[in-house]
């Protein structure tokens, strides 16, 4: 590697820089291989694999994970997600190995297939990740530019008002510049934008059968459905890199199932998102002239009741924040019993509603950063 870099002419300095930056760290690779063998005794002695990996990195500036290493790495990256309350089932993550898929069209097709498989027949959601090619010295991996595979467009209306999800106003403008025309509704599913390693980005509309959605209704208030609220069944994060043993997989969309409060206490409730608390409070006939009536809290509870009820009614997997808090502490105890620390970020673990009545509130956590991990690189 070194000799070859020295032989380059000076004006190739930028290219050299890129090559050096993308060249992977042998020590990271070694640490991962050791971890894999430690936790998977059936894989045997790590020495031969360590030698092979060191040789490949010296020769090519990269190495290739076996399927078992990739599967383990993706699962441990979930286990290491400090912000995730839902880690009890980290071992059940289904890993779709699509490292041979290079074209933007191929990536789009596999993302659609991911959604179909993850949604499951009748809404039994399966935690799933699809892993596309990693960045290598010669070629960056593909990327999905969307934050999640399924998200709703946000449009700036003439009056300065926003129709849809305000969080995605900028993204909606970017896809508009690429030629997408949305119908202008409150819940228009955005197209995927796939940037291949080489070449132009591809815009792709998700087929309807890949996007399960749930209309939000309330178990007691008939008027609730008139609010016209809905949400998609699968949260599939697509803009985090999966980092394993020094390799970076920039395109590795993954999903779990929703905890109701993510939708009921954030997406539909935040002032900077769908901002529905004043609307719900008004229909409930609450006194919004004073904070002391706790109209926001009251409306928030009814909205969350509606979200949980609607997913249940539709047969779509969803958890509530009380159950999930209990599970998280079970997970933490299991991890400690296995001799590991369970890293966690209190400010993300504590649910955005009724924090103090869930058990995760009443303690602190070790917030150290471990790898493999899902990381923001962009
Ligand atoms: N909070 C995000 C959303 O509302 C999803 C984050 C991941 N959530 C999950 N349950 N896996 O879309």
Q: For residue range 157-183, what is the model confidence (pLDDT) as tens digits?
A: 989 999 999 999 999 999 999 999 999
- Identify whether 113 is part of a domain: yes
The range of the structural domain enclosing residue 321 comes to 5-24+61-151+189-358
Pick the catalytic residue from 69, 75, 84, 111.
84
State how far Cα 306 lies from the chain centre.
Answer: 24
- pLDDT band for 11, please (50, 70, 90 cuts): very low
Does the pTM surpass 0.85? The reply is yes
Q: Is 251 annotated in the active site? A: no
| pLDDT at residue 23 in the model | 73
Can you give the length of the chain in residues?
Answer: 378
279-297 confidence digits (pLDDT tens): 999 999 999 999 999 999 9
| pLDDT at residue 20 in the model | 46
Beta bridge partners of residue 130, listed in sequence order: 96
- Interstrand relation of 258-259 and 318-319 (parallel, antiparallel or unpaired): parallel
- Catalogue the E-assigned strands of 186-328: 192-195, 202-204, 213-215, 230-232, 236-237, 241-244, 247-249, 254-255, 258-259, 318-319
| pLDDT at residue 286 in the model | 98
| pLDDT at residue 24 in the model | 86
Decide if pLDDT at 21 tops 70: no
- CA 110 / ligand 1 centre spacing (Å): 21
Here the tokens at position 374 are: 């899902």
| pLDDT at residue 22 in the model | 55
- Identify whether 348 is part of a domain: yes
Burial class from Cβ neighbours inside 10 Å (0-12, 13-18, 19+) for residue 242 reads: buried
Q: Is 262 annotated in the active site? A: yes
Contact status, residue 140 vs residue 197, Cβ threshold 8 Å: yes
- Identify whether 281 is part of a domain: yes
62-87 confidence digits (pLDDT tens): 999 999 999 999 999 999 999 999 99
- List strands edge to edge, sheet with 202-204: 143-144, 192-195, 202-204
Q: Percentage of the chain with pLDDT > 70?
A: 94
User: What distance in Å separates the CA atoms of residue 192 and residue 85, rounded to the nearest whole number?
Assistant: 27
- Identify whether 165 is part of a domain: no
- Identify whether 37 is part of a domain: no
What number is the average pLDDT over the span 21-36?
90
| pLDDT at residue 158 in the model | 87
Q: Report the CATH number that the domain containing residue 249 is assigned in CATH.
A: 3.90.340.10
Q: Which atom of ligand 1 is nearest to the CA of 259?
A: 10
Contact status, residue 168 vs residue 153, Cβ threshold 8 Å: yes
- CA 262 / ligand 1 centre spacing (Å): 6
- Identify whether 125 is part of a domain: yes
- Provide the domain count of the chain: 1
52-63 confidence digits (pLDDT tens): 999 999 999 999
109-126 confidence digits (pLDDT tens): 999 999 999 999 889 999
- CA 23 / ligand 1 centre spacing (Å): 32
Q: Is 257 annotated in the active site? A: yes
Residue nearest to atom 6 of ligand 1 (CA): 235
User: What distance in Å separates the CA atoms of residue 116 and residue 112, rounded to the nearest whole number?
Assistant: 6
| pLDDT at residue 229 in the model | 99
- Identify whether 54 is part of a domain: no
- Return mean pLDDT, the chain: 94
- Identify whether 183 is part of a domain: no
- pLDDT band for 128, please (50, 70, 90 cuts): very high
Q: Is omega for the bond preceding 372 within 30 degrees of 0, making it cis?
A: yes
């Amino acid at each position: 590697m070194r000799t070859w870099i020295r032989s380059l002419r000076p004006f190739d300095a930028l290219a050299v820089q890129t090559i050096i930056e993308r060249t992977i760290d042998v020590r990271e690779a070694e640490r991962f291989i050791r971890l894999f063998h430690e936790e998977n005794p059936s894989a045997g002695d790590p020495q031969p694999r360590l030698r092979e990996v060191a040789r490949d990195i010296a020769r090519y500036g990269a190495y290739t994970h076996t399927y078992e290493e990739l599967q383990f790495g993706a699962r441990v990256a979930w286990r290491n997600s400090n912000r995730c309350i839902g880690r009890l089932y980290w071992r059940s993550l289904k890993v779709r190995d699509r490292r041979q898929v290079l074209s933007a069209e191929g990536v789009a097709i596999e993302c659609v297939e991911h959604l179909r498989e993850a949604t499951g027949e009748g809404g039994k959601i399966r935690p799933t990740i699809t892993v596309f090619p990693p960045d290598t010295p010669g070629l960056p991996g593909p990327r999905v530019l969307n934050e999640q595979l399924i998200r709703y467009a946000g449009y700036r209306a003439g009056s300065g008002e926003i129709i849809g999800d305000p969080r995605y106003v900028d993204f909606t403008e970017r896809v508009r510049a690429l030629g997408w025309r949305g119908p202008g509704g409150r819940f228009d599913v955005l197209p995927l934008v796939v940037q291949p390693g080489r070449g132009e980005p591809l815009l792709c509309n998700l087929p309807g059968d890949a996007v399960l959605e749930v209309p939000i209704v309330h178990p007691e208030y008939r008027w609730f459905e008139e609010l016209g609220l809905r949400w998609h069944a699968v949260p599939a994060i697509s803009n985090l890199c999966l980092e394993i043993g020094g390799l970076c997989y920039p395109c590795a969309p993954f999903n779990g199932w929703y905890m109701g409060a993510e939708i009921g206490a954030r997406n539909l409730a935040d002032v900077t998102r769908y901002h529905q608390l004043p609307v719900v409070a008004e229909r409930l006939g609450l006194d919004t002239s004073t904070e002391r009536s706790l109209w926001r809290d009251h409306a928030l509870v009814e909205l969350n009741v509606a979200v949980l009820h609607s997913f249940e009614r539709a047969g779509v997997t969803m958890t509530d924040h009380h159950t999930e808090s209990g599970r998280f502490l079970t997970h933490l105890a299991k991890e400690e019993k296995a001799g590991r620390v369970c890293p966690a970020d209190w400010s993300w673990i504590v649910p955005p509603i009724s924090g103090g009545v869930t058990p995760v509130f009443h303690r602190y956590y070790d917030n150290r950063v471990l790898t493999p991990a899902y990381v923001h690189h962009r």
